[in-house]
């Protein structure tokens, strides 16, 4: 059985109240008492039970993290940053993966509520209204999405798309395709908006290819429509889709970047290691996690912090993009 405050009290010859005070408010007890308690704590290897404490103080020292898919390398990086920053302030992390199922989000959040002091919702898929229903309950910070009235941390997706479009335009591309991400994804909508604006400002043509699962498989499935579209460059909602495209292009003998240029988004760990290395828009994933924790801590300690942090994105040019038509498009295409 675990050591409780009573065991310490008995060992130190004082009451439980004094043990508690000695640990939580050392100034309120006599030095001698404090020493006896400290000795007993050391001897018994006592660690206060956070669960019991949380019933009184209402503070669990846990934060809940909800995200759509841990298999997408984007999220582990964010979670790791969250972990690291949370630990610095003595918070532990409760994790829930919804497997891209929007309907699972609300019940999961509800179930976690009593065990956490606040939530970091990473790229939540549930509707705005559903999320808003939690507004009164616990502090919530939303990552990679904006939902009034919650503070949020997002990346400048539109800016990233602008950079990518400028890059492709400079390489001579005039007809580009976009492989869309999940419709429920705010990031997707934001990126698409930015892309449309950039494309039209350059007077380029944009072909939007269905909604793909944000996975390698989604990219593989989208590859053939992309080729059929006769675009000379393709932007993917994220790196996994882009890698799926690369994979299918290679299998079909569609040369990258000679026949078609490919741009990803996120700059996940292995984006630079595929071949050709993936040109992509980098997001400061660690910063998102860190900033999210910071905002949440502000919120939980009552500071206002109704902020919206937008982090810059940065185009990383690698081998998967090149000048248009080093090779002529295949004749079968208009």
Provide the binding-site residues for DNA, judged by CB under 7 A.
1-2, 4-6, 13-18, 20-21, 23-25, 28-30, 32-33, 46, 48-49, 52-53, 55-57
**Which position among 26, 30, 55, 326 is part of the footprint of a second copy (CB under 8 A)?**
55
Distance CA 92, CA 60 (A): 9
Closest CA to 181 of 311, 74, 106, 321: 74
Closest CA to 320 of 181, 168, 176: 168
**Which position among 63, 120, 246, 254 is part of the footprint of a second copy (CB under 8 A)?**
246
Q: Which does 172 bind (CB under 5 to 8 A by kind): a second copy, DNA, none?
A: none
**Which position among 24, 135, 228, 270 is part of the footprint of a second copy (CB under 8 A)?**
270
CB count in 10 Å sphere of residue 312: 13
Strand, helix or coil for residue 217: helix
Alpha helices by DSSP H, listed for 127-259, are: 128-132, 157-170, 186-201, 216-228, 239-252
**Least CB distance to a second copy at residue 205 (A):** 29
Residue 56 in contact with a second copy, rule: CB under 8 A: no
Residue 47 in contact with a second copy, rule: CB under 8 A: yes
For DNA, the closer CB: 13 or 210: 13
CA angle 251, 252, 253 (to 5 degrees): 95
**Least CB distance to DNA at residue 33 (A):** 3
Closest CA to 206 of 191, 221, 184, 186: 191
**Least CB distance to DNA at residue 48 (A):** 4
Number of residues that bind a second copy (CB under 8 A): 47
Distance CA 293, CA 80 (A): 12
Q: Which does 154 bind (CB under 5 to 8 A by kind): a second copy, DNA, none?
A: none
Distance CA 61, CA 284 (A): 26
**Least CB distance to a second copy at residue 250 (A):** 8
Are 261 and 320 in contact by the 8 Å Cβ rule? The answer is yes
Contacts to a second copy by CB under 8 A: 2, 47, 49-52, 54-55, 60, 62, 69-71, 73, 75-77, 79-80, 83-84, 92-97, 99, 110-115, 137, 216, 243, 246-247, 250, 269-270, 272-276
């Amino acid at each position: 059985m675990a050591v409780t405050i009573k065991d310490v009290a008995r060992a130190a010859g004082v009451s439980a109240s004094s043990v508690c005070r000695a640990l939580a408010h050392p100034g309120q007890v006599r030095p001698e008492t404090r020493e006896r308690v400290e000795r007993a704590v050391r001897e018994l290897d006592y660690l206060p039970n956070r669960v019991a404490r949380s019933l009184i103080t209402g503070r669990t020292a846990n934060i809940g993290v909800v995200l759509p898919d841990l298999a997408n390398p984007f999220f582990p990086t964010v979670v790791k940053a969250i972990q690291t920053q949370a630990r610095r302030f003595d918070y532990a992390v409760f994790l829930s993966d919804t497997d891209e199922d929007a309907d699972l989000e609300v019940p999961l959040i509800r179930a976690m509520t009593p065990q956490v002091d606040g939530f970091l919702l990473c790229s939540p898929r549930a509707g705005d209204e559903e999320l808003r229903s939690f507004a009164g309950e616990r502090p919530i910070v939303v990552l990679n999405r904006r939902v009034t009235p919650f503070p949020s941390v997002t990346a400048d997706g539109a800016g990233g798309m602008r950079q990518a479009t400028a890059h492709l335009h400079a390489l001579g591309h005039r007809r580009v395709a976009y492989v869309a991400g999940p419709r429920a994804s705010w990031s997707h909508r934001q990126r698409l908006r930015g892309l449309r604006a950039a494309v039209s400002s350059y007077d380029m043509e944009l072909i939007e290819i269905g909604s793909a699962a944000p996975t390698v498989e989604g990219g593989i499935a989208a590859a053939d429509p992309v080729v059929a579209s006769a675009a000379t460059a393709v932007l993917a909602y994220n790196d996994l889709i882009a890698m799926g495209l690369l994979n299918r292009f290679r299998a079909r003998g569609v040369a990258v970047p000679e026949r078609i240029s490919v741009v990803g988004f996120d700059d996940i760990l292995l984006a630079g290691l595929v071949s050709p290395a993936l040109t992509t828009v980098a997001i400061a994933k660690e910063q998102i996690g860190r900033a999210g924790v910071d905002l949440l801590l502000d919120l939980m300690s009552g500071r206002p912090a109704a902020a919206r942090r937008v982090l810059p994105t940065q185009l990383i040019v690698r081998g998967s993009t090149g000048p248009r038509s080093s090779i002529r498009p295949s004749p079968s295409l208009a």
